[in-house]
Amino acid sequence: MTFSVKRFMAIFQKDLKDLYRNMYVSSTALMPLVFAVIYGRMDNITIEMYVFVISISLALVGTFLQCAMIAEEKEKNTLRGLMLSPATLTEILSGKSAVTIVITVIVTGVCMFLMNFSFTGRGVLIAGVILSLIFFIALGTWMGLITRSVLEASVYVLPVMFIFGMGNMFMAFADQYTFLQVLEYTPGIQLEEIVKLEDAGAGFSQLWKPFAIIGAWVVASLALAAVTFKKRMMD
């Protein structure tokens, strides 16, 4: 079955309208903006602060919006109908993900504008952010499939926010608490590494490792979301 743009746009428009009506879900976009306003007023903003706001935007907005939209459909018993419709798995997931991508990109862009940070000339960082965004959306898709309501989704997203969104902040305590060193392999920390390598003029021989780590997260999350989706369709 070929990809249908018409079915894709129908799913995209439906989710966009649902998100507009659900102020509880859409209001989560305010948290990254709050951090951006606070940091933006500082005199000396470090690169770690920029990456932290980017990470919290991807983790909170990207993951929670995706998770909440799918959980809401399950709560209203409309997701099963969508699964059994002529729409393919690719059309359903891409249509839902498109809304999350648009909102997350807008929020991240506004945050960076408030902090006077420009992505101009930072193609490597942009590539890392895009790859990380795919991971967070896939993670949100999986979480939405295993949760039963928007309220439950808001609870499930908390570990994601702390581990993946605020991992940069917790790394300061890694010397005191050894178990925190595992956060070094989270996408947020790898984005920080990418920025440092890019600023140092590093080549592919040094940049491949952080991209490979983020790529591994992407593959794992996509596989988990696809398997869970097909399982829910068969249940």
pLDDT of 25 reads 64
Main-chain phi, psi angles of 183, to 5 degrees: -65, -15
Q: How far from the centroid of its chain's Cα atoms is residue 139's Cα?
A: 8
| Cβ neighbour number for residue 179 with a 10 Å cutoff | 7
pLDDT tens, 9-37? 877 787 777 777 766 666 777 888 888 99
Quote the number of domains for the chain.
1
Phi-psi region of 37 (alpha: psi -120 to 50; beta: other; left: phi over 0): alpha
CA distance 99 to 11: 9
pLDDT tens, 91-110? 777 877 888 888 899 999 99
The CA-CA-CA angle for residues 25, 166, 98, to 5°, reads: 40
Which domain covers residue 104, as residue numbers? 5-234
DSSP 172: G
CA distance 218 to 235: 26
Q: What is the pTM of this model?
A: 0.86
Whether residue 202 has pLDDT greater than 80? no
